[in-house]
Amino acid sequence: MVSNGARAFWVAEPGRGEIRDETLPPPAADEVVVRALFSGVSRGTEALVFQGRVPASERERMRAPFQDGVFPAPVKYGYASVGIVEQGAKRLVGRTVFALYPHQTRYVVPASALTIVPDAVPAARAVLAANLETAINGVWDARPHVGDRITVVGAGTVGCLVAWIAGRIAGCEVELVDLNPARASIARALGVRFAEPGSAADGRDLVIHASGSAAGLALALSIAAFEATIVEMSWYGDQAVPVTLGERFHSRRLTITSSQVGSVASSQRARRGPAERMQLTLSMLADPALDALITGESAFEALPDIMAQLASAPGDTLCHRIRYPG
């Protein structure tokens, strides 16, 4: 008999998290019970949620697929869970799966909400799936060409993954730019060049901005070549961000476009849905080079302290992995 008890991480109020006991409902015929193995903290977005900084205008659009509660708090939020199916459809029982589910030890979801993790992908690495899906969508929105000179500004998890994808396109020269010189070793592991802002290359055919800062966006605009595109992948929450539309913006005929993972990029939408995009994402996680992006791991019970730390002083953190009890 599978237990109906579970424990979940909640943002109890802005800046404070807690672990709460949950009682799982009996699974319906089309549902399964999943026991979590790992989850990943999507540090940028989850820091904004933890701090209560989701703008009122975006609270419905920002809901995670299995979110409980409402912004700003109390809310159970997250979308990078890897686990094993304990109960449900025979074809799934015992399989390792990925779900867009908050940080919780066990949960009940429709079978259709799961994606099977390929055998070639370790469960511990599969926590990168949500971030990689965002990066894939961003590259689809950017529409790079063979041989492009591409700069990614911001070497957070998503920015690093965008650079890794772009670096696999034939002939592309990819530079990853960040204030933190420690990111140079990450860039090397991913097979791309690294630069600090003061030495970033100019005249770029495509610039993808993922730093979440006004200074990063200003740099992206300043290094874009004539008629280049700047793809804005940062999400600023309730922060107002100045955009330099003077100087060379008009004379270079620059284009700024947004990218957000909630909708499949228009370049692929007629042929791929979210399920196909997630299957592609998980298949791409077979590359062991991506382990460089997992910079820390903590036990589930430590999440209230870990989330507070990551929200206030992230240090060199990229993806922080949460480990669940066996």
- The CATH number linked to 50 is 3.90.180.10
Q: What are phi and psi of 316, to 5 degrees?
A: -95, 15
> Does 26 sit behind a cis peptide bond, omega within 30 degrees of 0 on the bond before it?
no
Are 142 and 259 in contact by the 8 Å Cβ rule? The answer is yes
Distance CA 247, CA 320 (A): 39
Task: Answer yes or no: is 69 within a domain.
Answer: yes
- The answer to whether residue 270 sits within a structural domain is no
Same domain for 22 and 84, yes or no, is yes
DSSP output for 186-237: HHHHHT-EEE-GGGPPSSEEEEEE-S-SHHHHHHHHHHEEEEEEEEE----T
- 138 and 254 inside one domain: yes
For residues 295 and 15, give the distance between their C-alpha atoms in angstroms, rounded to a whole number: 23
Instruction: Return the pLDDT at 172.
Output: 98
Phi/psi of residue 100, nearest 5 degrees: -80, 65
DSSP H or E stretch at residue 244: none
C-beta separation of 154 from 177 below 8 A: yes
Torsion sign (Cα): 42, 48, 50, 55: negative
pLDDT at 1: 56
pLDDT tens per residue across all 326 residues of the chain:
567 999 999 999 999 999 999 999 999 999 999 999 999 998 888 998 999 999 888 899 889 999 999 999 999 999 999 999 999 999 999 999 999 999 999 999 999 999 999 999 999 999 999 999 999 999 999 999 999 999 999 999 999 999 999 999 999 999 999 999 999 999 999 999 999 999 999 999 999 999 999 999 999 999 999 999 999 999 887 788 889 888 889 999 999 999 999 899 999 999 999 999 999 999 999 999 999 999 999 999 999 999 999 999 888 999 999 999 98
Instruction: Judge if 184 and 206 occupy the same domain.
Output: yes
* Structural domains in the chain (count): 2
Cα of first residue to Cα of last residue in the chain, in angstroms, is: 17
Please tell me whether residues 171 and 246 are part of one structural domain.
yes
Residues 116 and 172: their CA atoms lie apart, in Å, by: 32
Q: Are residues 29 and 100 in the same domain?
A: yes
Residue 291 phi, psi (nearest 5): -60, -20
Is the same domain home to 88 and 200? no
CA pseudo-torsion sign 55, 140, 225, 250:
negative
Is 32 a member of any domain? Answer: yes
Burial of 157 (0-12, 13-18, 19+ CB in 10 A): buried
- Which domain-ending residue is among 219, 239, 258? 258
pLDDT at 304: 98
Cα–Cα dist 265/242, whole Å: 26
Q: Per the domain annotation, does 157 fall within a domain? A: yes
The answer to the question of residue 232 being in a domain is yes
Whole-model pTM: value is 0.93
Provide the domain limits for residue 161: 134-258
Residue type, 287: D
Domain assignment present for residue 277? The answer is: no
Among 241, 258, 275, where does a domain finish?
A: 258
pLDDT at 2: 66
Distance CA 160, CA 137 (A): 14
Residue 314 has a pLDDT of: 86
Same domain flag for 92 and 138: no
In a domain, 84, yes or no: yes
Report the CATH number that the domain containing residue 209 is assigned in CATH: 3.40.50.720
Measured CA to CA, the distance from residue 41 to residue 39 in angstroms comes to 7
Q: Is residue 40 part of a domain?
A: yes
**214 and 309 part of one domain:** no
- Residue 253, exposed/middle/buried by CB under 10 A (0-12, 13-18, 19+)? exposed
What is the residue whose two structure tokens read 């920015």?
Answer: 159
Q: Do residues 200 and 314 both lie within one domain? A: no
Q: Domain check: are 138 and 253 in the same one?
A: yes
98 and 207 fall within a common domain: no
51 shares its domain with 78: yes
Q: Minimal CA–CA distance to 7: which of 29, 55, 39, 54?
A: 39
Predicted pLDDT at 45: 84
